[in-house]
Amino acid sequence: MRQYEDTYQHKGMRRRLVNELKEKGITDERVLDAINTVPRHFFLDSAFDKIAYEDRAFPIGEGQTISQPYTVAYQTQLLQIKKLDKVLEIGTGSVYQATILAELGAWVYTIERQKKLYEKNKQFLFKSKYPNLKFFYGDGFEGLQPYAPFDKIIITAAAPFIPPKLVAQLKVGGYMVIPVDEGENQRMLRLEKLADGTLREEAFEQFSFVPMLTGKND
């Protein structure tokens, strides 16, 4: 069984990462605190121990990646999480982003389409620290109708378009943060659902995500 240890060295590297994120423009102190609290190296294979706090994406198996810390901080900041917000995440991957949301006090419902990653995450012991984090195996394009509506929705893969079912499952006044394909890269959008059901759109920086794919993969 893998031992999880959070040493002074890890904590020091994490503080340096937080400073780097500040320099890159992340301003939300609660988001920075969450990144300072959650040991990112727990979410990676032990081979990445020494580099887990570099501001980079890393492979996590099944051709997928753990998002770059800057991207996690950026999306989380745009979501403006409040305690007890009900948040839907598409693309559980390593569980790192979901844990940052849970650390901020949200109720997190995260969906993964890769069976192997979903199964691996069920074994992940650190998650027991977060009873407010729930895992689902399924296709994110479908959302999670039984638990809708959500205060916030975050998509952590490159979306070919804005999935209509996710819009339907968002509360009025709620935010969806979604990277939408623009050829090579994706434009980060924040969509607010208005009372008449339409969306108010704000566009932010460009990012590069793995694709959001349809259907489950077992």
Catalytic site positions = 67
Which of 34, 87, 108, 139 is the binder for ligand SAH (CB under 6 A)?
139
46-54, 79-87, 92-100, 192-200 -> range binding ligand SAH (CB under 6 A)? 92-100
Per CB under 6 A, 169 contacts ligand SAH: no
12-20, 30-38, 58-66, 184-192 -> range binding ligand SAH (CB under 6 A)? 58-66
Please state, in angstroms and rounded to a whole number, the distance separating the CA atoms of residues 210 and 189.
Answer: 16
Phi, psi of 85 (to 5 degrees): -55, 145
Minimum CB distance to ligand SAH, residue 45 (Å): 13
**Dihedral sign from CA coordinates of 38, 40, 43, 47:** negative
Please state, in angstroms and rounded to a whole number, the distance separating the CA atoms of residues 60 and 151.
Answer: 29
Please state, in angstroms and rounded to a whole number, the distance separating the CA atoms of residues 188 and 202.
Answer: 9
3-state secondary structure of 217: strand
Minimum CB distance to ligand SAH, residue 177 (Å): 12
Contact footprint for ligand SAH (CB under 6 A):
64-67, 90-91, 93-94, 96-97, 111-114, 117, 139-141, 156-157, 210, 212-213
